A and B are shown apart, each in its own frame.
Chain A
Amino acid sequence: MVVVSEHISPKMTDASPDIFADDSEPEIPEVSLPEENEKSFVTENNLYDIPIKAWSCKYIAEDGEAPFKANNLSSLHLTILTMPSVRLQDSFVPNEESWQDDIRLYEPFEVEQVLLTDFANCLAVQAYLKMCNLNFNVEMRSNAEFMSPSSQVPFIKCGLFVVSELDPIVAFFAHKEVSLSNDLDDKSKGDMRAYMSLVNTVLTNAEQYVLWNVPDVLNSVTKPRYGCVYPWPLNSLLCWRKRRQCLSRLKVYGWLSKSLSEVYEEVHKPTELDALVFGHVFTLMSTPLPDNRLASTVRNFPELTNLSNRIEREYFANSEHMKALSDAANAAV
């Protein structure tokens, strides 16, 4: 059975604007049941929604048979007229089950086409969906960028909803009561968002800079990959257009005036976060405790230990005390 219905509670539609916040006016996607009496039906072979309104064509509805050999039509019509209300109720499967089976993730072709930034975003959304234990199908389309309502990949299609980019997708599933950060309090959620936006601005901008403003990368990687799905001369034309868009975005963020080494500096530049993480990780690793499970958890993340080692080498190079501590810690392992 194919379920065509999508039950949307009023709360959902009220709250949805922030999902669709990136466009000028929030529009609630057209859902097939705007009114109580216009219901969708479950049919075996027909995917069309049949709102009752469409039946105001009295020449079909009143006669009870189609004027021409419209087999589908008349049988469907009769089914609807004769369908007892109980049967109707039965055929509405509760939506909690149905929406999870129909999640599709749309992204550009991973091998030939996708660019660094886009692939990072696609991977992030895939990881998020997997962490949420949501089943999804990945659909690769050469025009994914243009199919997306915000012109950014990836986007998901869930029922009738089309939602693009990680943040709106997270918000969308939060409305469906699927979330990874439910047990965080508001403050931690705020912190998490801040870190996410830090990653987005710094790494995304750096990636865009390298892709579109470093001639070597532009000519050998970006142009061939971005243009590979278009025939000549669209490939160079669209590349040029995309480059212009990306550069103007970088300009807004003030990155365009940076030199390449300044960009690397920007990524490499430590922040308060690095200091805090370093403090905790270093302490955990270097403090012998009878129960050192916490330390071994940290050691399972080489990124964290590497970060800690790097900061130590760079900023505590002259400190004998720190060196001794870390030597002791390494010896303990």
Chain B
Amino acid sequence: MGLVHAKDVTPNPQGSRLNLDQVKARVDKVKIEGLGRTKDDILTDKVQELFKAKDFQEVILGAHKVRSKLESLECFSKVGVLIDTSEGPDATPDGYQVVFQVKELKRIAGSVKTLMGNNEGSLVVELKAPNMFGRGEKITAEYSRGWNRTIGLSTTFYKPLRVLNNTSLSTSIFQQGSEWMRSGYKLIERGMLLDLAFNSNTSLRHNLQWEGSWRELECLTRSTSFLVREQNGHSLKCSVRHIAEYDKRDAAVFPSSGSFFKLIQEFAGLGGDIGFLKNELHFQNNISLMSDVVLQTSVQCGLLNHVNNSKTSKICDKFFLGGPLSLRGFDWRGVGPHDQGNSLGGEFFWAGGLHLFSPLPFRPGGGGFGDLFRTHIFINGGNITASSSDPYDYFRNIRIAYGIGVALRLGQVARVELNYCVPISAQKYDHICPGVQLGVGLSFL
């Protein structure tokens, strides 16, 4: 006698399907069709991992990975994948062959596009020679013109390096003209930039740069402050820069979680007549409070030090604070010392903001157009001063403004904000901007 514990045999939910990771597979051959000028050596590196696949699922996933790697080379306009059983005398029983069908980019491509920068839209005309020498090198020539009368010209040579993933070297020659109404000056920069970009881990990106630039400062009008006029003329800046950027946000615009961190360090004075050490830090953190409500904290600060008595810094090296992208409730560059209406900038600044983002009330157009919008309430504050030995000075005379507004996402990178701002603390020389303020840009406080 005994008990029999019996169970119904429940049908395997995946029984009817084929379990791909159970299917043994081996990649015998990888073929890339459609190559012209592209060299083999950069491609063999990229497809290596396909040969490690043990089952069919890994083959498929691997093929997708390789495909996106090939696309990221920016050599091909189209990459197709074909997986087939391998044939021929060398074929193994579980053997497969993977064929990538690529179409190379034309030797020269041109484009005309509009760009949204920091409160400025610009038209960019670009001429590009992709994959020049067959290893992903490219040369671009660019002309841009913004509605704030900024004009840029640049030629860049870009080369990916094979030693490490995501490592690239680029050099560019540029000329950039810009007009700063609020500070009463016009700046023309001409120079050369060498840039080495690499990742030290998956989400921490570094740029090491060397820049040599000839800057020409001019007054915009006759009524420009004499303190700005004094700095007119030519100067030469030679500097090395390190930029570290860490981005764990789930989206660049309206993120709901994650944090972002950027550190810019610049040392000028390796030649030329400009010398300073400049450190700038940007930090942003997002916490999802309720289903759709996000609390965003952001902090920015920067410090400019003089390191050499014989070298100086000019007004264009200084920090400025205020405006719809930084300290809302104040005019562009409206915080800090002014002379005859021109903002003079400072050597130290900090600013912090606290935002509460939520979707539009009652969610009109939800799931579509309405998702591009957010409402937010915010309070932000900050200060800008000359550098001082007493850290307490940095926290005197804090400017504060709060407000409410609507923000609109433009593409995946830019946003437009329409805010009603109420400044609650200001200094006598600040230019405040109470009421409605419009901001368009990439990076906001």
Contacts and interface: CB of A to CB of B under 8 A. Distances in A.
A57 B426 contact: yes
Nearest to B430: A57
B221 A147 contact: no
Contact of B232 (A27, A69, A147): A147
Contact of A29 (B214, B223, B273, B424): B223
B273 A67 contact: no
Contacts of A73: 427-428
Interface in A121-172: 141-143, 145-147, 149, 157, 160, 162
A212 interface: no
Nearest to A60: B426
A209 interface: no
Interface in B414-445: 423-430, 432, 434
A284 to B, nearest CB: 48
Interface residues of B, number: 35
A62 B398 CA distance: 19
Contacts of B229: 147, 162
Contacts, number: 84
Interface string A104-125: 0000000000000000000000
Interface stretch (A187-195, A229-237, A299-307): A229-237
Contacts of B398: 68
A234 B236 contact: yes
A27 B218 CA distance: 16
Interface class of chain A by DSSP: loop
B5 interface: no
Contacts of B232: 143, 146-147
Interface in A227-266: 230-231, 234, 237-238
Given A143-B232, A160-B340, A67 B425 contact: yes
B222 A29 contact: yes
A24 to B, nearest CB: 11
A23 B423 contact: no
A104 B221 CA distance: 20
Interface in B212-226: 214, 217-219, 221-223, 226
Given A146-B233, A230-B273, A59 B428 contact: no
B271 interface: yes
Given A57-B423, A230-B234, A234-B234, A162 B222 contact: yes
Contacts of B397: 68-70
A132 B236 CA distance: 41
Nearest to B396: A69
B272 interface: yes
Contacts of A77: 428
A30 B341 contact: yes
B303 to A, nearest CB: 22
Interface in A50-95: 50, 54-55, 57, 59-60, 66-70, 73, 76-77
Contacts of A237: 214
B214 A27 contact: no
A68 B396 contact: yes
A15 to B, nearest CB: 16
A69 B425 CA distance: 11
Interface of B: 214, 217-219, 221-223, 226, 229-234, 236, 271-273, 338-341, 396-398, 423-430, 432, 434
